[in-house]
Structure 1
Amino acid sequence: MDKNTKQPKNLDEIYKSIKSYGYYQMFFLAVMQYSCWIEAGNRAIESLGLLIPTYKCFDKNLEFELNSTQIHLNASNACRLIRACQNLTLEKAWTSLHEEFEWFCESESLKSTLPSLLPFAGLLSFVIAGHVSDYLGRKWIIISGYSIQLLCGFLEALAPNMGVYMGIHVIKMFARNLSGGAAFVLAIESVHSKYRLIQAFGFQFSIGYMLAGLTCYLTGHWRRQLLLINFLGIPLLFIKLLKLEESPRFLIQKQKYAE
């Protein structure tokens, strides 16, 4: 304790004056699991959304059956056949982006360029997340990033084509990793050092993916899944806005001891 200012000088002194692991830390753990569910529901589109159905044509002069393997081997020919068929049926478990946008019909340059932007956006956001959260605070980076994620989720559900969807998804990836990086830091800095491993386990997606699987089963369509999971994520935004507390470490750095 600084005798002149009577203010704590480091995190150890902060945690001597508050509970090491109390109701707020347990609340934070629950909020992280809620976040993981919403995140898992959005990430499901990245796998289920790319499923390719089996196409069967029963025209008088054209009959064929194309599965995902055959389409990948010769996408241009598959595209020509599918678009030429008048009596086309599909065998599918889920209505995907591939089916609706016929992504395999797009040029190879577009199919390779857009997905390659995703890891770049993710890497960039992780690199700057620490610096930005040190300047603006962990809480507001989490809230702003999550808000952008929700907005992008709704916009993705309304995307008219795959190019627009992927462009929105790149922005969403950037915001997601920016928010996620700040959230992990806030989780670790909100507990005593001996409880940090427990708090870090809050970023587990096991329950989230199980719940996401349920919503995917109930919706059966990539657009409905995005609309539902992001609608369910709206209450979480207000929970974070009203109940989330700033990192003690950040407050000490900014000399905001009263907070």
Structure 2
Amino acid sequence: MAFEDLLPLVGDKRRFQILQALSMVIPLIFVGTHFLIENFTAFVPEHRCWTPLLDNTSALLNVSGNLNFSSLLKLSIPLDSNGKLGKCRRFFWPQGQPLLTDAMGQNLSQLETEPCVDGWVYDQSTITSSIVTEWDLVCDSWTLKSLSQSLYFAGLLVGYLIWGHLSDRFGRKWMLSPSYFMLAVFSTGIAFAPSFQVYCSFRFLLGFSISGIIFGFGSLAVEWATIQHRPWAVVLISLCLSLGFLFLGALTYGIKEWRKLQLVISAPFFAFFLMIWWLPESARWLIVHNKCDDALKVLRQVAKINGVKEQTLTVEAVRSTMEKELAAAQTHYTILDLVCFPNLRTRILCLSFSRFTTGMLFYGLSLDLQNLGRNIQMLQVLLGASSFLSRFGALIIMNHLGRRTIVVAFFLLAGLFILSSAFLPQGILCMVLAIIGICCIVVCISCNNVYLNELLPTVVRTTCSGIILTIDRIGVMLAPFVNILRHYLPAMPQIIFAIMAVIASFMVFLFLPETQNKPMPDTIEDIECRHSREEVKPGDLDDTLVKISQF
């Protein structure tokens, strides 16, 4: 028997499961907005150097009336190699030099230029203000935008590693409260950051706290779900994050000042912090850590919420159900111990590269929406809507095709669409191919979220997940720097992304088993003995195979 056999005794799809889902939905929608908020708070508008001829009222009065605004632009800003107005240089006019009406007849290419020593003028028609316009993160400082993005994901990386270990040691629920409080404080602090350095520090700490929330909710959702409901529990979290992307795009139609936008998506977390007190600890974690009395109290609490009379639920029943898992839980594993088990090591390595690839591709493309078009709000809404539909579609097809088949196929499709968009000019076709490529990656992410939990045992699940998601965050951290390569060769980021997608597809196909309709392993022995790549005899699983159904 396994823990899934206990859940029907307390009600596996009743009031408790609904309340648990509702307590996750709204907070996770707001969490989702933080992942892509820098599409707006770090928006790079059209800009040019501030020049006395155009932007100084007293200088304008001395200019001949025969020179219109277009003429003044040509006298002030040199053209770049594409024939467009330069963004980082201006013509040097010595103070007091008269501007003659025949100035336009001069050979402007021979005029001396200088950097934007007096600052920049920004187009505020799309976004009123951003960290780019406030701290002039353009020209020589343009890479600092990628630095701020990477520091946020570095916080997630450190958080996944630390929260994973703490969650395995102290429990799932008790990691949520400090994570919520930290998120509320740090995300609100970002809105009042007085400098770019303070902003980056708070973004790092924000990422650290968000990883604790995702870990806590993810573990509770999966460990309170039966085999047939587990994909729904996992994908629900992903769907909420996608709704967060959509919600963010809708918000920016009305809020175009970055500090106000940051405050609107941060303040509600103080209320969410007060709403999670009722969530019970994972009974699966309590049992595996030999806390059967506490597990029994939690199970009876859930049964009461569900209105189920659990006459047969006793400590003895709990112990007998999880006897093998309890024995295995007495052994404590370090991270170095985990690589000593061949099948577990293979799964960790393959899942790590798969998550590394999905993280780099999704955020590398999603945080670079400006290169797909100037209507950033529409692109964000389109990304959120397509991401939501892709995650929901992934859940449906997982019931019919299995996990491995989906991951392999959609990695290949993502590589194809991303590579095709790399060599097209900015336009509708390029945007459509890029969005489809992102949707394929989203399907892989959704399937991987289920796949990861079904491949790893309960006793070390969050520790292993912490390692894998740390590798995932390394990929995400590198994504903004891969996008910098666009400055040297426009198609280079997409080429790298496409190659990685194809490699990940082959690794999953060659080294990972299918897990559809198979019980979730609780011990490392389950993986090394029964959950190996070799096919298990049908008779061994007659009493555990349950088809994933939709409700």
Q: What residue number does 2:243 align with?
A: 207
1:229 equivalent to 2:265? Answer: yes
Q: CA deviation at 1:157?
A: 0.3
Q: What residue number does 2:32 align with?
A: 40
> Contact 2:189–2:202 at 8 Å: present in 1 too?
yes
The Cα offsets for residues 152-182 of structure 1, whole Å up to 9 and x where unpaired, read as: 1110000011111011111111111122122
CA distance in 2, matches of 1:229, 1:115: 18
CA distance in 2, matches of 1:81, 1:218: 32
1:14 equivalent to 2:50? Answer: no
- In structure 1, the gaps of 5 or more residues are 1-8
> Contact 2:32–2:245 at 8 Å: present in 1 too?
yes
The Cα offsets for residues 172-208 of structure 1, whole Å up to 9 and x where unpaired, read as: 1111112212221111011222211111111122322
Match of 1:258 among 297, 300, 306: 297
Cα gap change, 1:84 to 1:128, in 2 (>3 Å): closer
CA distance in 1, matches of 2:79, 2:261: 26
Cα gap change, 1:159 to 1:64, in 2 (>3 Å): same
1:52 equivalent to 2:44? Answer: yes
- In structure 2, the gaps of 5 or more residues are 60-71, 91-113, 299-551
Instruction: Give the 5 Å matches for 1:1-259.
Output: 11-55=3-47, 57=50, 58-59=54-55, 60=59, 63-64=76-77, 77=89, 80-81=115-116, 83-84=118-119, 88=121, 90-94=123-127, 95-104=129-138, 115-203=149-237, 204=239, 205-241=241-277, 243-252=278-287, 253=289, 254-255=291-292, 256=294, 257-259=296-298
Tell me the amino acid that sits aligned with residue 171 of structure 2: G
Q: CA deviation at 1:215?
A: 2.2
Q: Secondary structure at the match of 1:21?
A: coil
Cα gap change, 1:30 to 1:84, in 2 (>3 Å): closer
Number of aligned positions between the proteins: 245
Q: CA deviation at 1:106?
A: 6.9
Cα gap change, 1:178 to 1:89, in 2 (>3 Å): closer
> Contact 2:172–2:282 at 8 Å: present in 1 too?
yes
CA distance in 2, matches of 1:221, 1:66: 30
State which drifts further: 216-225 or 155-164: 216-225
Q: CA deviation at 1:218?
A: 2.1
Cα gap change, 1:200 to 1:111, in 2 (>3 Å): closer
Cα gap change, 1:31 to 1:208, in 2 (>3 Å): farther
% identical aligned pairs = 22
Q: CA deviation at 1:23?
A: 1.6
CA distance in 1, matches of 2:18, 2:79: 51
State which drifts further: 55-64 or 195-204: 55-64
Tell me the amino acid that sits aligned with residue 213 of structure 1: G
> Contact 1:49–1:222 at 8 Å: present in 2 too?
yes
The Cα offsets for residues 68-113 of structure 1, whole Å up to 9 and x where unpaired, read as: x99xx976x589427257xx46333112111112123675886666
> Contact 1:138–1:186 at 8 Å: present in 2 too?
yes
Tell me the amino acid that sits aligned with residue 244 of structure 1: L
Q: CA deviation at 1:232?
A: 2.7
> Contact 2:132–2:145 at 8 Å: present in 1 too?
no
Tell me the amino acid that sits aligned with residue 124 of structure 2: E
**Of the two structures, which has the highest relative contact order with CA contacts closer than 8 Å and spacing of 6 or more?**
1
Cα gap change, 1:220 to 1:117, in 2 (>3 Å): closer
CA distance in 1, matches of 2:208, 2:167: 14
Cα gap change, 1:21 to 1:176, in 2 (>3 Å): same
CA distance in 1, matches of 2:119, 2:271: 46
Q: CA deviation at 1:13?
A: 4.5
> Contact 1:54–1:65 at 8 Å: present in 2 too?
no
> Contact 2:183–2:210 at 8 Å: present in 1 too?
yes
Tell me the amino acid that sits aligned with residue 44 of structure 2: I
Tell me the amino acid that sits aligned with residue 165 of structure 2: H
> Contact 1:126–1:178 at 8 Å: present in 2 too?
yes
> Contact 2:132–2:138 at 8 Å: present in 1 too?
yes
CA distance in 2, matches of 1:105, 1:52: 11
> Contact 1:148–1:175 at 8 Å: present in 2 too?
yes
Cα gap change, 1:251 to 1:65, in 2 (>3 Å): farther
TM-score, length-scaled by structure 2:
0.40
Q: CA deviation at 1:138?
A: 0.9
The Cα offsets for residues 123-152 of structure 1, whole Å up to 9 and x where unpaired, read as: 232223332112222112122112111111
Q: What residue number does 1:3 align with?
A: none
Q: Secondary structure at the match of 2:7?
A: helix
Q: CA deviation at 1:35?
A: 2.1
Q: Which has the larger radius of gyration?
A: 2
Q: Secondary structure at the match of 2:274?
A: helix
Tell me the amino acid that sits aligned with residue 284 of structure 2: R
> Contact 2:151–2:203 at 8 Å: present in 1 too?
no
Cα gap change, 1:17 to 1:119, in 2 (>3 Å): same
CA distance in 1, matches of 2:42, 2:146: 14
Cα gap change, 1:65 to 1:39, in 2 (>3 Å): farther
